[in-house]
Structure 1
Amino acid sequence: MAFADRVDSVLRAGEAPNLHGLVVVENGQITLERYGAGEDFKLNEPLGHVTFGPDTLHDVRSVTKSVVSLLYGIALAEKLVAPPEESLLAQFPEYPDLAEDPQRARLTVEHALTMTLGLEWDESVPYTSTANSEIAMEYAPDRHRFVLERPVVEEPGLRRTYCGGATALIGRLVAKGSGRSLTEFARSALFEPLGIGEFEWGRGGDGVEMAAAGLRLTPRDLAAIGTLLLDGGRGIVPRSWIEELWRPRVQIDDRSAYSYHWYVGTGEHPGLSAHGNGGQVLHLAPERGLVVAMTAGNYDNFAQSTSATVLDAVLQGA
């Protein structure tokens, strides 16, 4: 059975609730596209019942983190940002008191890229509560200081702790180095060269883009980003940076590892992927020239496996 038939069978059986959009690209061509309808949100703002289509922007939530990594890679090639091995606190001279702490002084940019900062951080509660560290960061008077002054709980580089604050720091490096907002840099350096015209990037109360989860893209444009990576970056994203993304740096479980804000699959479905709350997925399977982009509405429902079910249907037998 072709993967289109498998996906349609899953959808007819109601096994993929709240699937909003699916685009599959095979060898550079869209070979499957499906859209649904349902309740949607822009972060925590209700949008009501939405009928989705090719031009409907959708929250990609934490897939935003992976896009920020691409922007960092572009900025790095242009020598606008410090390389991964450089001191992290040295990039924030506005916080000299934090840099004087010998424990924090050991932090590098790479520790932020791999989320191995060793700082206290908890995103295990819903993203509607300030008990969630990412939400608390959004309410802080200075989001970057909020992250960097978290209590030190372990050696940096020891283990990955999921941390939207780490992405906020990387986003700040890109904005400072380029002299432009993330929106402006993303538009000129990545989106426009890729043919992406319409997108949105939500901002916090301080006017700064939410680097951890603020992007809204169409599934087609999300797929275009994946296709760009499979094509070696086309001079937009440096090929050398894409190669770095494929290097597993921190093991998550027996099926996946974490790289520079991207997941490296080492299990049944090897590949490079980005994930966001609610079922947002961008998955690259280079051995088949395949890119899968999904949007869904299972926000804060971590038990709902819509994206996994659909992805399995696409990749089955690969």
Structure 2
Amino acid sequence: MAIAKSSPTRSGSAAAESLGFDPAIHRKLLAGVESGLLHDLHVVLAARSERVFLEHYAEGNDQEWGRPLGHVTFDAGTLHDLRSVTKSIVSLLYGIALDKGLVPPPEAPLFAQFPEYADLAADPARVGITIGHALTMTLGMEWDENRPYSDPLNSEIAMENAPDRYRFILDRPIVAEAGSRWIYSGGCVALVGAIIERGSGQTLPDFAREALFRPLGIDRFHWSAGDDGVASAASGLRLTAPDLLKIGMLLLRNGLWDGKRVISKDWIEASFTSATSTPDGLGYGRLWFIGDAPAPALGAPKPWYGGFGNGGQRLWLMPEADIAAVIYAGKYNAWDAWVTPTRVWREIILANFLRA
């Protein structure tokens, strides 16, 4: 499947208009950047019906999993941290592994996948916890990522520093009944990644390369790992914007790429079905956020699905409009990092979608 590109030129404006968007959409994006309303924006890349209608590459300071990279000029070939958008990609990898019969279904007991921790599995409070609870962040175990990621007491940082990351996660105190409460947790995704690795016999990056990236023609990526060599399933993946957009378009095509099945439609539908709700009122499926937003060309607000990452990283999808959008930004560890990508999605992309 080829990605048809447009650019901020007269032809790009014509492409935007032909896809139902205000032909001035790129100028409006630039006005938001120049006015200061869109802070620390690195990349915007958006497509409808597999055709790019908005493409913007900027420059600015960047990081690789917390390591400063200095000033970077971004383009279509620049690898960029996804941070926690990685979690949503890991959900897709679990679905592919399930399709291949390599991993248990979500209703399977979680602790049975980690027999080396029989002492923890014997705890009656943990018996009913399933893989599905990890996929929906409803384990009911204590986890604190509200602290800065520079704080060693942040649970994800403590996990990375622990002598045994999986015991650290599985031994967290029980604070709620499994399935009853959403608690944001990179530990949940570390467990999901471990089950994929154990079932496939491959590292998570190697399985991703073979099962997802290669079928989509993605040949460049990087996956950051901890000191123990374990790739971070929660936040370590780096992709170019066009390659992340391919993954978005794969989902809009219900798992088909160039006529070949990459992931089952059933897994995508289940992942995009809300299993719980977050404190800010969004739905949450299998490592995907779920909400709705106005889309003038479609009338009433329509559902969207998103992978969200620290610093303003986003993969937005609105299937009813056939829109996928990638946003990369550099506002890492800031409480208001959500503002810029949300403005781009709602006030630039959807507000300027005028004709279905």
TM-score (norm: length of structure 2) = 0.87
The amino acid across from 1:9 in the alignment is A
Shift of 1:107: 0.6
Equivalent in 247, 255, 270 of residue 244 of structure 1:
270
Determine helix, strand or coil for the equivalent of 1:25.
strand
Determine helix, strand or coil for the equivalent of 1:157.
coil
The amino acid across from 1:307 in the alignment is P
2:119 is the alignment partner of 1:97: yes
1:65-122 per-position Cα deviation (integer Å, ceiling 9, x unaligned): 0000000000011111111111000010011101110111111011100101111100
**Structure-2 separation of matches of 1:154 and 1:242:** 28
Shift of 1:12: 2.6
What percent of counterpart residues are identical?
Answer: 47
Runs of 4+ with deviation above 6 angstroms: none
2:353 is the alignment partner of 1:283: no
5 Å-filtered alignment, 1:121-136, equals 121-136=143-158
Equivalent in 264, 268, 274 of residue 307 of structure 2:
274
**Structure-2 separation of matches of 1:99 and 1:307:** 41
Shift of 1:265: 1.1
Between structure 1 and structure 2, the one with the greater Rg is 2
1:202-231 per-position Cα deviation (integer Å, ceiling 9, x unaligned): 011111100000000011111110000001
The corresponding residue for 2:8 is none
The amino acid across from 2:344 in the alignment is V
Select the structure with the greater relative contact order (CA < 8 A; seq sep ≥ 6). Answer: 1
The corresponding residue for 2:249 is 227
Shift of 1:241: 0.6
**Alpha-carbon contact 2:293-2:304 (below 8 Å) kept:** no
Shift of 1:238: 1.2
**Alpha-carbon contact 1:6-1:314 (below 8 Å) kept:** no
Shift of 1:317: 5.5
Count, aligned residues: 318
The corresponding residue for 2:344 is 310
**Alpha-carbon contact 1:64-1:215 (below 8 Å) kept:** yes
**Alpha-carbon contact 1:278-1:298 (below 8 Å) kept:** yes
Shift of 1:266: 3.5
Shift of 1:9: 2.3
Equivalent in 60, 79, 82 of residue 57 of structure 1:
79
Unaligned runs of 5+ in 2: 1-21, 295-301
The amino acid across from 1:242 in the alignment is I
**Structure-2 separation of matches of 1:132 and 1:251:** 22
**Alpha-carbon contact 1:72-1:174 (below 8 Å) kept:** yes
**Structure-2 separation of matches of 1:74 and 1:274:** 18
TM-score (norm: length of structure 1) = 0.97
The corresponding residue for 2:289 is 263
Unaligned runs of 5+ in 1: none
**Structure-1 separation of matches of 2:217 and 2:51:** 15
Equivalent in 31, 41, 49 of residue 19 of structure 1:
41
